[in-house]
Amino acid sequence: SILIVDFGSQVTQLIARRVREAGVYSEIVPFNRAEEAFQRLQPKGIILSGSPASVVAEGSPRAPESFFQAGIPIFGICYGQQVMCHQLGGKVTANDVDGEFGRAFIDVIAPSPLFENLWKVGEKHQVWMSHADRVEALPEGFKPIAVSDGAPFALIADENRRFYGMQFHPEVVHTPDGGKLIAHFVHDICGLAGDWTMAEFRQTKIAEIRKQVGDGRVICGLSGGVDSSVTAVLVHEAIGDQLTCVFVDHGLMRQGEAEQVVSLFREHYGIKLVHVNAEDRFLAGLKGVTDPETKRKFIGKTFIEIFEEEAKKIGGADFLAQGTLYPDVIESVSFLGGPSVTIKSHHNVGGLPERMNMKLVEPLRELFKDEVRDLGRELGMPDIFVDRHPFPGPGLAIRIPGEVTKERCDILRKADAVYLEEIRNAGLYNAIWQAFAVLLPVRTVGVMGDGRTYDSVCALRAVTSTDGMTAEIYPFQPEFLANVATRIVNEVRGINRVTYDFTSKPPGTIEWE
């Protein structure tokens, strides 16, 4: 395996993804727990991530010194390169004036087994830079193997110790050969085979779940989304009727979704399922609430309360199964006081109280969304579930800026259903990461028939993405959007104007709240 040491970069999870794409198992651990993870994993290679911190700042994170004596290859990215150089006796300088951000080109100046059969001396390659500080003097044993205008040590190597460092980020798609570079590192430098598959993952996890749970009882919160659905089916395959699923229906689901969840799990899979209709309780608590974080916190907290009540009713359980994914784990590091910045509090991990006194079963903790979909297919789940667009835990509440009411939820559900139906009919559903309607707290004037209307505005959003971390807007044909707008205004009472959201992420987030 590969151990990825996280210094808090926003894109650390992409490193793990690239390693997995190379067919190799890896784990990300925060820098301050890296030593103990090393003992447990006995990795064949180490990757040091980037960071928002500065190596020269007092108290900035370090890699465990023992890693440099372990005799295994190390790959330092950006801050990872700087911290390696700093700890091995090189010199790093702070630079708060300019720095390099965005696309850059490097010149390959020396051959290296790191890119044998990929890059040749004399070639120029596009990379993505994002740094202020940089390495000024190399530690003993290192030499530059590629340079850029802004970074004389864009890529460095100590071939004897098999230590590599780069100022650019190979894990992001803007470094076109970055994935291949990481694959070369794990295969050729670390000697790992690249035979990790989803079928293997399924068997490993089933064995792990059986071992962890024994004859204990497991409870699982089902949301209808891919993550919790795949978790439930996997856990059910492992332990059968020791699993009870609880579907807390907050009434903030899309049209027809709650019914679908109940029938799939009860009828198709024969999984024990408790369906709690808590719409009134959620709407009552959301009354008068307009602040996005207050909505999220209330929904997360209430979810957990209801869940606890149901757990008590069924006589308690020893374990809680959750569909936590890798990006959730990393984002939640910021809740633990780690260096990443919290943009939104995701309710599925942030609010889980220790007082529930249950151990966690989180079989998807290492996976990214599309890998979860592969696992769902591996488990024989229907496409409608496996390919479903992601849906946030707080549901429609965060797609209704301003106050959330039953009436506004119903209006939004109708508009959203029309939009998604048109997307499916056009054969575009699977080309889009996420598409949804947002109901704005703005009324505008319109004219229908001979009458004046004064109704709400609906915004349509559709984005492509590979991981939800960054996103591009989906470029619909204008005719397509015009047709959706006409249908929504004609068929959904309460909406008389439709707009399209052209904002990518960053700077926008995918959801509006």
Task: Provide the residue type at 104 as one letter.
Answer: A
* Spatial separation of the C-alpha atoms in residues 418 and 484, rounded to whole Å: 7
How buried is residue 384: exposed, middle or buried, by Cβ count under 10 Å (0-12/13-18/19+)?
A: exposed
The residue with tokens 């995918």 is 510
Alpha helices in 172-225 (DSSP H): 178-184, 198-213
Catalytic residue among 86, 125, 171, 389: 171
One character per residue 38-77, x = contact with ligand XMP (rule: CB under 6 A): ----------------------------------------
* Sole binder of ligand XMP in the list 50, 178, 394, 395 (CB under 6 A): 394
| Residue 441: cis peptide before it, omega within 30 degrees of 0 | no
- Helix, strand and coil in the chain, % to nearest 5: 40, 25, 40
Shortest CB 291 distance to ligand XMP, Å: 15
* Sole binder of ligand XMP in the list 152, 382, 468, 494 (CB under 6 A): 468
Does 392 interact with ligand XMP (rule: CB under 6 A)? yes
Does 348 interact with ligand XMP (rule: CB under 6 A)? yes
Does 221 interact with ligand XMP (rule: CB under 6 A)? no
Q: Which residues contact 345 (CB under 8 A, 6 or more apart)?
A: 293, 296, 297, 300, 335, 351
The structure tokens listed for 89 are 């006796």
For ligand XMP, the closer CB: 106 or 375: 375
For ligand XMP, the closer CB: 197 or 509: 509
Shortest CB 296 distance to ligand XMP, Å: 6
Residue 3, phi-psi category: left (phi > 0), alpha (psi -120 to 50), beta (remainder):
beta
The structure tokens listed for 7 are 């210094």
Does 390 interact with ligand XMP (rule: CB under 6 A)? yes
The structure tokens listed for 510 are 């995918």
- 171 included as an active-site residue: yes
Does 505 interact with ligand XMP (rule: CB under 6 A)? yes
Does 401 interact with ligand XMP (rule: CB under 6 A)? no
Does 393 interact with ligand XMP (rule: CB under 6 A)? yes
* Sole binder of ligand XMP in the list 86, 169, 346, 373 (CB under 6 A): 346
Shortest CB 232 distance to ligand XMP, Å: 15
136 neighbors 177 (Cβ within 8 angstroms)? no
Shortest CB 116 distance to ligand XMP, Å: 38
Is residue 45 helix, strand or coil? Answer: strand
Is residue 156 helix, strand or coil? Answer: strand
- 78 included as an active-site residue: yes
Does 301 interact with ligand XMP (rule: CB under 6 A)? no
* Sole binder of ligand XMP in the list 202, 217, 347, 414 (CB under 6 A): 347
Q: Give the angle subtended at the CA of 296 by the CAs of 290 and 299, to the nearest 5°.
A: 105
Shortest CB 192 distance to ligand XMP, Å: 31
With CB under 6 A, what is the number of residues at the site for ligand XMP? 14
Q: Which residues pair with 27 in a beta bridge?
A: 3
* Spatial separation of the C-alpha atoms in residues 180 and 262, rounded to whole Å: 43
17 neighbors 179 (Cβ within 8 angstroms)? no
For ligand XMP, the closer CB: 17 or 184: 17
Does 100 interact with ligand XMP (rule: CB under 6 A)? no
- 309 included as an active-site residue: no
Q: Which residues are catalytic?
A: 78, 169, 171
List residues near ligand XMP by CB under 6 A.
344, 346-348, 390, 392-394, 434, 468, 505, 509-511
